[in-house]
Amino acid sequence: MEIERLNESTIKFFITYKDIENRGFDREEIWYNRERGEELFFEMINEANDIENFELEGPLWIQVQALDKGLEIIVTRGQITDGNVKLEIPVSNEQVNLPVDENIVDILDDNFVKNKKKENEDEEPELLDLVIGFNDFEDVIALSHGIEIRGFQNALYHFEGYYYLFVMFTDEFPEDEQDDILSQILEFGFESEISIHRIQEYGKEIIIDEALQNLKTMFEK
C-alpha cells in the first residue's frame, strides 16, 4: 500500500486489489459487506497514523475511486466553524461544507456504494458466473460427459490441490435454465467460496477456454 501526505490535513492511499486480498479481504466483499469495508479502511488509517502520524479525529471528507489495479482513497480532516465543517480539499480550489454530525462510517459507506454503482454503470451488464470446485480431475472429466455443454463459457484452473471450473453464462438463457444447469454441475463438484480473482492470481491455468468441450474430446467416457 502506498501512503502520501498531501498536506497537514489530507492523506492519500493507493492499495492494489492483490494487496487487499493478501490482507485477508475479498475484492468484492469490501463493496457489499459494510463491516469488512470499514475494517479495511480503519486498518489503512492505523498504518497512516504509524507512518505519517495522521490521527483519525474530527469530521472527515472521504473520496474513494476504483481504478483498474486498485483503490485510491483521499481522506481530509475538517475544521468545525459555526456548526459547519470546512475542508481544504487539495483537488479543488473551493471549500466544502459538511454537517457536523456526518458520521465517518456513513461517509465511507456512501462513498464505497456510489463508486461501486458508478463502476457497474460504466461496465457492460454483468453475467451470472460461479466457481465450482472439484476434489479430483476425474470428476471434471465425468462432468464433461455428464451434461449438455451449451450456453455458458468455462475455464479450468488448479489451485491448492483442487481443480476449479469458472462458469459464466451468456445472457440468452433464462434464470430457471441457468439454475437447472448449475444444479447438474454441482452433482459433480461443489460451490467454492474462493474468488476467481484469487484463483487466477495464484493458481495455474489448465484450459482457459471451453474447458469442458476440450476435455470431452480428449478423454473417452
Burial class of residue 124, CB neighbours in 10 A (0-12, 13-18, 19+): exposed
Domain 129-218: top CATH class: alpha beta
Which is nearest to 5 in space by CA: 111, 97, 77?
A: 77
Name the residue type at position 100. V
* Rounded-to-integer distance, Cα 34 and Cα 171, Å: 30
Q: Estimate to the nearest angstrom the gap between the alpha carbon of 180 and the chain centroid.
A: 27
What is the pLDDT confidence band of residue 57, given thresholds at 50, 70 and 90? low
142 to each of 76, 130, 164, 182, 212, how far by Cα in Å? 57, 19, 14, 15, 10
Average pLDDT in the 186-215 region? 90
156 to each of 9, 178, 194, 209, 212, how far by Cα in Å? 48, 19, 14, 8, 8
Q: Could you tell me the pTM of the whole model?
A: 0.46
* Rounded-to-integer distance, Cα 114 and Cα 107, Å: 11
Instruction: Tell me where in the chain the CATH 3.30.70.1950 domain(s) lie.
Output: 129-218
* All three cell numbers of 70: 486498485
How much is the mean pLDDT over the chain? 76
- Output 207 or 8, whichever has higher pLDDT: 207
Q: Residue 194 has what DSSP assignment?
A: S
pLDDT tens digit sequence for 144-198 = 999 887 778 899 999 999 999 999 886 666 777 888 888 899 999 999 888 888 8
Angle formed at CA 24 by CA 126 and CA 12, multiple of 5 degrees: 80
Which is nearest to 108 in space by CA: 59, 58, 64?
A: 64
Q: Residue 171 has what DSSP assignment?
A: T
How confident is the model at residue 56, as a pLDDT? 62
